[in-house]
Amino acid sequence: MAEDFTQDETKENTSQETEPGNGVPTEGTPPPSELDQLKQTIQELQVQVDSFKDQFLRKAAEFENYKRRTEADSINLIKNANEGLIISLLPILNDFVRSLKAGAENKDYDAFYKGVELIHNKFSKILEMQGLVPFDSVGKPFDVEYHDALLQMPKEGVPPHTVIEEVERGYKLNDKVLRHAKVIVSAPSQVEESAANNKEVKA
- What pLDDT digit, counting tens, does each position of 133-179 carry? 999 999 999 999 999 999 999 998 899 999 999 999 999 999 899 99
Q: Answer whether 158's CB lies under 8 Å from 186's CB.
A: yes
Q: Comparing 106 with 174, which gets the higher pLDDT?
A: 174
Q: Is the pLDDT of residue 13 over 60?
A: no
Q: Is the pLDDT of residue 21 over 80?
A: no
Give the tens place of pLDDT for each residue, 179-188: 999 999 999 8
Closest CA to 181 of 136, 140, 141, 151: 136
pTM for the whole structure: 0.56
| Least confident residue range of 9-18, 45-54, 93-102, 174-183 | 9-18
Compute the distance between CA of residue 86 and CA of residue 99 in angstroms, rounded to an integer: 20
Q: Where are the beta strands (DSSP E) in the chain?
A: 132-135, 147-154, 163-168, 170-173, 176-179, 181-187
Tell me what the pLDDT averaged over the chain comes to.
82
Q: Is the pLDDT of residue 3 over 90?
A: no
Give the tens place of pLDDT for each residue, 34-73: 888 888 899 999 999 999 999 999 999 999 999 999 998 8
Q: Answer whether 160's CB lies under 8 Å from 188's CB.
A: yes
Delineate the domains of the chain, giving CATH numbers in brackets.
133-203 (2.30.22.10)
Compute the distance between CA of residue 198 and CA of residue 191 in angstroms, rounded to an integer: 11
% of the chain at pLDDT higher than 90: 47
Torsion of CA 20, 22, 23, 28, to 10 degrees: -40
Backbone angles phi, psi at 2, to 5 degrees: -65, -35
